Chain A
Amino acid sequence: MRGYLPPEYLVHIDHGKCRRCGNCVRNCAFGALQFEHGAWQQIMRIFQHGQDDLQQVFDKIKENVPDRVVADHHKCVQCHYCVTHCPEGAISVQPNPLAYRGNYHWQPHHLKNIWLQAETGGKLLTGAGNDKTYFSYFDHMVLDACQVTNPSIDPLREPMELRTYLGSRPDALEFESGPDGPVLKTKLAPAVRLETPLVFAGMSYGAVSLNAHKALAMAAKACGILMNTGEGGLHTDLYPYADWIMVQVASGRFGIDPDYLRRGVAVEIKIGQGAKPGIGGHLPGEKVDEEVSRTRMIPVGSDALSPAPHHDIYSIEDLSQLIYALKEATEYTKPVAVKIAAVHNVAAIASGIARAGADIITIDGFRGGTGATPLIIRDHVGIPIEMALAAVDDRLRQEGIRNRVSLVASGGIRHSGDVAKAIALGADAVAIGTAALIAMGCRLCQKCYTGNCNWGIATQKPELTARLDPERAAERLVNLIRGWSLELKEILGALGLNAVESLRGSRLRLRGIGLSESDLRVLGIKNAGVGA
């Protein structure tokens, strides 16, 4: 059933280079590549085990079978797995150059989506984050640096502090005198230590593969940061990394028991996420295999529905009740975080969350990713993280309660520059999801919801998940975190700062370029060219 929908991409096979090894045909989980006659595939199947004595026959047949790889362009999602893994470099993928009559209002993707819905009558699903051409505030803010009148610092020669603590800070510190000098009298709330102001965003086992989860956990441990279970429980293989794991409690309450709550180093109540504010989750039964079932504690093959709201939370008072239920269950030894999507009234909501007793607030902007969401929600609901973060930080300061919570910002953070700008806007730390997946191989094909991820990340199919080596993926993640941390030190040094703490909420070090007066006002920054 093709209907009116043309293929989005065209796959080109260079038959001069192709050795017909069949790699791509076997590998494409979307079934976009096939042998034209299938004969070669049948032979491959017979000689799958490649006995040495048959090798000659093998070669002979290969020369004589007039078969070739052909593409079903309609099925290609441009995930580049075949392109990356073709030993001959014989495959390339291009956008279909098919011309549409130029129309600024009716873009090709509008037409394609209408055709698709006219054929199926369903909601359009997608994965990853908002890819539309909304204005990027990150790209219109620049950082300051020291020149002449104040010295910059060379991070290679001088200590540079990136260590960050997430948790609630007291309003004031009280000391009393002891035999060896002053002793802290104030009882401090529990906090989590990060060696660099980065955490991995919540992504559930179920949405991503166990190998992806393992890689995130290993990397979090190696970097001294956190991974976040998302709403999918904690697989026993991840227990050794529990001191670097934030466990999540969401509306479906999957995989949650007292042991789960106690194992994590912090507990996060997930209210919403940037890719789908106000929308629940739905892990289809096909993805609930034996292992996912065990981790989520639901029967194999059953749909895992996360309702849109927590049905025990209809108010800030109700949220407070769950926050303290979790604190009681963990005996006040772990910070409790609340994750919300950035929406219009985010500042007032965050103030309520802080007053409800949360220790950490995670705010996820509208560029935040997901394993599955209705396209129309992803692309049209929520606000940019830059605006939300500035508004929340302002509001909490105005109310004198900024110290009560740590702020974690997420939603489309692409590089350490975004991290530094987010911290200058008021974030204590930044959560990265999409960037972490890209480090593991993700090409942002946005087909996570199909479960066919060729890179073994957003899938539960054993033949696909086996492609992601957790050790290797963890190494790539560690490298990414290291690289960004080095760059952060470089940025801090240029700013003349020796601790990330000094950049936090320091909006004087940001300037806007090409922003309107009201943009500048919400962001709380000055225009480029305006001095201190």
Chain B
Amino acid sequence: MLRIDAGGLHYRLLNQQIRDAVRNGETEFVLDNVNGQRYIGTGLESANIRITINGVPGNDLAAFMSGPEITVWGNAQDGVGNTMNAGKVVVHGAAGDVLGYGMRGGKLFIRGNVGYRVGIHMKEYRDMMPVLVVGGTAGAFFGEYMAGGRLVLLGLDRPDGAPLAGDYLGTGMHGGVIYLRGRPDESTLGKEVKLFDLDESDWAFLEPLLEEFCRYYGREFAEVRGADFCKLIPVSHRPYGRLYTP
């Protein structure tokens, strides 16, 4: 295991240390005093790498990442899992904007709230199925342009009357599924999506995921599961098919 005190260390040096160690066969990392360093885990490829981050990592955590597992003991900032390919990030706190943009595979778990434009243009391919689970609430444009994968928005512990998600939920969505714990106001939905009840296959997918979520964050499964869930799916896979003259 390699323990790095990231306090005052520029991201370029920190990430270089990690890459050099990976090249020398190191697989376990603990980064202490992380305070805004960007690009941690960015472009790392090996599936057996584990990184524990104590502190608040900077933007583009796990961008282009393909395999490693990252645990963040703190909040995360913008761009977590940008164009991520495989692996896992578990954030024990809140996270910022544009999480999982263009993400193709792997899992992101966020304990708390997330910002705007989360899950934009997530996509899936063959056995690659990106999953993003948010324990709290989300800002506007959640799942915009979504082309595949699964977004789960739980809205746990939110104050009475606080909305589950902002406006333009699922706008331009043409693939994938957004699972919601609670019912969003229909006026906040993008016009390409509709709300449906969950069927058995949805639960078969969702229950193990909720169990995993509860395991990371010490929540009661029954409490998380025991609420009204619904799903958002696109009504057309070709939302923009009839705009042009032939």
Contacts and interface: CB of A to CB of B under 8 A. Distances in A.
Interface of A: 116-117, 119-120, 122-125, 249, 251-253, 256-259, 261, 282, 284-285, 293, 297-299, 302-303, 305, 307, 311-312, 321-322, 324-325, 328-331, 450
B59 A321 contact: yes
Contact of A297 (B60, B104, B121): B104
Contact of B64 (A116, A120, A122, A257): A257
Contacts of A251: 121
Interface size grouping (class) on chain B: 35 or more
Given A252-B102, A321-B59, A329-B43, A307 B15 contact: no
B102 A256 contact: yes
Contact of B66 (A124, A253, A257): A257
Interface stretch (B26-34, B143-151, B157-165, B225-233): B143-151
Nearest to B43: A329
B121 A325 contact: no
Contacts of A299: 124-126, 148, 175
A120 B241 CA distance: 13
B211 interface: no
Interface stretch (B78-86, B131-139, B179-187, B193-201): B78-86
B66 A258 contact: yes
Contacts of A125: 244-245
B184 to A, nearest CB: 21
B48 to A, nearest CB: 16
Interface string B206-243: 00000000000000000000000000000001101111
B147 A305 contact: yes
B75 interface: no
Nearest to B236: A303
B78 to A, nearest CB: 8
Interface string B49-75: 000000000011001111000000000
Nearest to A304: B147
A331 B12 CA distance: 10
Contacts of A117: 245
B111 interface: no
Given A253-B102, A299-B148, A116 B240 contact: no
A321 B83 CA distance: 14
What 7 pairs between A and B have smallest CB-CB spacing? Answer: A329-B43, A253-B102, A120-B245, A122-B245, A328-B39, A297-B125, A311-B120
A117 B102 CA distance: 35
B83 A256 contact: yes
B98 interface: yes
A258 B237 contact: no
A32 to B, nearest CB: 15
A305 B172 contact: yes
Interface in B154-176: 172, 174-175
Nearest to B99: A312
A263 to B, nearest CB: 13
B42 A325 contact: yes
- Most chain B CB inside 10 Å of its own CB: which residue of A117, A123, A328: A328
Contacts of B42: 325, 328-329
Given A311-B117, A325-B64, A329-B63, A122 B123 contact: no
B72 to A, nearest CB: 18
A123 B245 CA distance: 6
A349 B55 CA distance: 35
15 contacts: A122-B244, A258-B45, A259-B45, A299-B124, A299-B148, A302-B174, A307-B120, A307-B121, A307-B145, A311-B117, A311-B121, A311-B141, A325-B38, A328-B42, A329-B63
A312 B19 contact: no
